Amino acid sequence: MTPHVTRHGAAVTRPQREVLNGHKGLVLWFTGLSGAGKSTIAHAVEQRLHEMGCRTFVFDGDNVRHGLCSDLGFSPQDRTENIRRIGEMVRLFIDAGIIALTAFISPYRADREKLRRLTADGDFIEIYCRCPVEVCERRDVKGLYRLARANEIQDFTGVSAPYEEPESPDLILDTHVSSLHECVENVVSLLRHRGVIRDRT
């Protein structure tokens, strides 16, 4: 706790912002191996929601690591700190009534569970992009698996660092089986089912 720092109350409340936006604020937290489809799906879902008139924002792993978390590496401690900082930022976006979408490997179950506890009930929607490591490796979108196998990258999730699967995620997307379109529809259906969004046609 930081001494001599007092929180200010907001003159405009989260419920008021949500009324203005026409939907709840929350985070769609995509987790999974590198190449499992987190970024691709998060951006496609964002586009869909944007077209429906929702206020959205995507936080992408690489972008955050170039800025807010540029001082962090890939040790277990740094990975935990990376997710903690992102979690704090995402909470502000939720308070702003935004639908935040995040695409981080976030390999540790404990870190993801901490985020769930930090946020109010229903604000943290954990979406597991499930894909066998062999398929991710074949996709090798950024050429990182090849480097990891050649030992040119250390502590690479799925190769030389662990990934802890979610035990009870809100949604599982099998990206080696379902098409991108199906994955997007599954996310949108879940949001409709939970009353987060309504069609405005």
Q: Per-residue x/- mask for ligand ADP, residues 112 to 141, rule CB under 6 A?
A: -----------------x---------x-x
Q: Which residue is nearest to ligand ADP (CB)?
A: 37
Alpha-carbon distances of 33 from 12, 27, 74, 137, rounded to whole Å: 39, 19, 14, 10
Q: Which stretch binds ligand ADP (CB under 6 A): 31-39, 79-87, 158-166, 185-193?
A: 31-39
CB of 33 to ligand ADP, least distance (A): 7
Check if 168 is active-site: no
Cβ–Cβ < 8 Å for 166, 31:
yes
Interaction between residue 45 and ligand ADP (CB under 6 A): no
CA angle 72, 100, 194 (to 5 degrees): 135
Question: Shortest approach of ligand ADP to residue 100 CB, angstroms?
Answer: 16
Closest CA to 149 of 141, 162, 135, 159: 159
- Tell whether residue 107 is a contact of ligand ADP (CB under 6 A): no
CA 147 – CA 154 distance, rounded (Å): 9
Contact 83, 76 (CB under 8 A): no
Q: Which residues does 41 contact at the CB level (< 8 Å), separation at least 6?
A: 30, 127, 129, 173, 175, 180, 183, 184, 187
As a whole number of angstroms, the distance between CA 196 and CA 52 comes to: 12
**Which of 106, 160, 178, 179 is an active site residue?**
106
Of 63 and 75, the one with the shorter C-beta distance to ligand ADP is 63
Shortest spacing between CB 132 and ligand ADP, in angstroms: 12
CA 89 to chain CA centroid, Å, is: 12
Q: Which of 180, 189, 192, 198 binds ligand ADP (CB under 6 A)?
A: 180
Which residue in 175, 186, 191, 196 binds ligand ADP (CB under 6 A)?
Answer: 175
The catalytic residue positions are 106
Please report, as ranges, the residues that interact with ligand ADP according to CB under 6 A: 32, 34-41, 103, 129, 139, 141, 175, 178-180, 183
